Amino acid sequence: MTPYQLWTSFYTMLRKDVVRMFRIWVQTFLPSVITSTLYFVVFGTVLGSRIGTMGGVKYMEFVVPGLVMLAIVTTSYANTSFTFFSSKFFARSIDEILVSPTPPWLMIAGFVSGGIVRGVLVGSIVLAVSLFFTGLGISIHSLLIMLGFAVLTSLVFALAGLVNGIYAKSIDGINIVPTFILTPLVYLGGVFYSVHSLPAAWQPVVYINPIFYLINGFRYGFMGVADIPIAVSLAVLAALVVLLVGINWYLIRTGLGLKQ
Amino acid sequence: MDALKIQNVTKTYNNGVVALKNTTLTIPAGDFFALLGPNGAGKTTLIGIASGLVNKTSGSVEVFGYDTDKQTEMAKTQIGLVGQEINFNPFEKPIDIVVNQGGYYGIPRDVAIPRAETLLKDLGLGEKMNDKAMALSGGMKRRLMIARALIHKPKFLILDEPTAGVDVELRRGMWDYLKRLTTDGVTILLTTHYLEEAEQLAKHVAIIRKGEIVANGTMDEILALGKDTYTAGDFNGGRLEQVFIELTK
């Protein structure tokens, strides 16, 4: 395929997914607004007023980057895992791409880009909701770092969701990972607290959680302070991207979970 | 030039089922070729391997001279596939399904849209192209799959039981359309359980049984195999059906 044909194929996959997510916006965007509103009410307003400050800022402001990141992680993951799984399992419409000359790496790019778009859009919506609860009191230290981590996080979890979507053999298969692995990692990754507030014995456990590095970098973009240097966060993210791209490429290239 | 050249292809599934055993088959360019066999004979597996949906265990496949392992993109570009199962998103519109398929082949929307509209109109779906695909009847869904397979103007069209569940009138309309395609130079590989359909349409026939080609030749050559058992006037489903039953029992 020529570069223009490759672009056309990529654009087709992305456009199809974006059209789908806007067509069913009640399912794709609204739940994050409701969930984040509840979090802001419970953790920010009710409990936050008793906690006071964390990391040198009001608890409500501290928790905003974590909640935005929570929304990005869950939606970008869910988007690719469900989109890929449903096209493989329900209508078998994945055959439309498998019979075409679209190469495996472009398939990965097409599906993952949809996850990135949804992750960043939902993150932006949650951020907009947070402005209401913080009284427009959010300061942004570096817009570039904030946006960069938002996109990178969407990329990592869209890639992880794609691995799940390829491997899953039933609808339960795409629910198990978010329920039993992703959610605990997110909650233990520092959404609601600073790693320094944990007992010393628990702090090393946090460092083996990849989500800690994402939230750390993202929070630095807002507040200019981080638990660890953001270069470390970027390195962990880059390693995850390389690893997950490799796994996805191998799975699609060999047809594991796709071709018999 | 051969449209399809399958050499010594074996396929063993993970569960140990051997679907194809050292199968060799050649389909000349421009041919209307019928691949016949009972359920589970290996027809769909063979088609899946040719079109890139199934991994073969061993052997080689060429499509218009392009090796499907080494020149995968070029080989895939030659093929249009109408699968046995309905495999499109039922929530999408027919026009979007066909245009998106063009996109996967690198055809931009401004080219794909008018081409898709023409194909859908030619196949009698002009008034349905903006309805949801789930609202189409079984026969319409089959025709939509044909339109989708033709959007990139393939030289080789593979149809895996395209008329299953389609009423007689629509089936005949599809036959006429397929005949026109061969007149335009498109090579067609058809699998069907309607043997009179194959007898009417195909120039060459291969019969596959338990993963092995048991007969392969022109329609006349295959029909000649059953001359002794054919009794005109009796209910026998036609000459090809007699041969088929003899060779596959």
pLDDT in tens, A175-203: 888 888 888 888 787 777 777 777 777 77
Three-state SS string across A147-163, please? HHHHHHHHHHHHHHHHH
Q: How large is the average pLDDT for residues A154-168?
A: 92
**Contact A251/B at CB under 8 A:** no
> For residues B81-113, b (16+ Cβ closer than 10 Å) or e, as one string?
bbbbebbbbeebbbbbbbbbbbbbbbbbbeebb
Query: How far apart, in whole angstroms, are the C-alpha atoms of residue B170 and residue A161?
Result: 43
Residues of B in contact with A84 (CB under 8 A): none
**Residue B66: inside a domain, yes or no?**
yes
Residues of A in contact with B103 (CB under 8 A): 8-9, 11-13, 15
Residues of A in contact with B79 (CB under 8 A): 99
Query: How far apart, in whole angstroms, are the C-alpha atoms of residue A140 and residue A118?
Result: 22
- Evaluate whether A104 touches A204 at the Cβ level (below 8 Å): no
**Residue B227: inside a domain, yes or no?**
yes
> Cβ B104–A92 below 8 Å, yes or no?
no
**Residue B104: inside a domain, yes or no?**
no
Query: How far apart, in whole angstroms, are the C-alpha atoms of residue B9 and residue B49?
Result: 9
pLDDT in tens, A25-51: 998 899 888 988 888 888 777 777 777
Residue-level pLDDT at A228:
83
**Residue B184: inside a domain, yes or no?**
yes
Distance in Å, alpha carbon of B216 to nearest chain A alpha carbon: 27
**Residue B134: inside a domain, yes or no?**
no
Which residues are paired to A49 by β-bridges?
none
* pLDDT category of residue A105 using cuts at 50, 70 and 90: very high
Is a pLDDT exceeding 80 seen at residue A173?
A: yes
- Evaluate whether B148 touches B94 at the Cβ level (below 8 Å): no
Share of chain A above pLDDT 90, in %: 38
Q: How large is the average pLDDT for residues A10-33?
A: 92
Residue with tokens 């495999």: B87
pLDDT in tens, A108-143: 999 999 999 999 999 999 988 888 877 766 777 888
Residue-level pLDDT at B139:
86
Is a pLDDT exceeding 80 seen at residue A55?
A: no
pLDDT in tens, A211-254: 888 888 888 888 787 778 888 888 988 999 999 999 999 998 88
> Cβ A92–B87 below 8 Å, yes or no?
yes
**Residue B55: inside a domain, yes or no?**
yes
Distance in Å, alpha carbon of B211 to nearest chain A alpha carbon: 16
Residue-level pLDDT at A215:
84
> Cβ A92–B77 below 8 Å, yes or no?
no
Q: Which residues contact B72 (CB under 8 A, 6 or more apart)?
A: A101, B52
Residue B174's CATH number: 3.40.50.300
Within the 2-21 window of chain A, which residues sit less than 8 Å (CB to CB) from chain B? 2, 4-6, 8-9, 11-13, 15-16
**Residue B217: inside a domain, yes or no?**
yes
**Contact B103/A at CB under 8 A:** yes
State how far the alpha carbon of B124 is from the alpha carbons of B119, B127, B168, B200, in Å.
Answer: 9, 8, 15, 22
Share of chain B above pLDDT 70, in %: 96
For residue B12, the SS3 value is strand
For testing the chain A interface, which of B14, B47, B104, B146 should be mutated: the one with the most A CBs within 10 Å?
B104
Residues of B in contact with A93 (CB under 8 A): 87-89
Nearest alpha-carbon partner for B104 in A95, A82, A257, A92: A95
> Cβ A95–B87 below 8 Å, yes or no?
yes
Mean pLDDT estimate for chain A: 86
For testing the chain B interface, which of A5, A12, A90 should be mutated: the one with the most B CBs within 10 Å?
A12
- Across the beta sheet with B79-82, the strand order is B79-82, B156-160, B187-191, B32-36, B204-209, B212-218
**Residue B131: inside a domain, yes or no?**
no
Residue-level pLDDT at B154:
96
Residue-level pLDDT at A260:
65
- Closest-CA residue of chain B to A4: B106
Q: How large is the average pLDDT for residues A53-58?
A: 73
Parent domain of B198:
2-83+152-248
Distance in Å, alpha carbon of B109 to nearest chain A alpha carbon: 8
Instruction: Quote the number of domains for chain B.
Output: 1
Residues in chain B where the model's pLDDT stays below 50: none
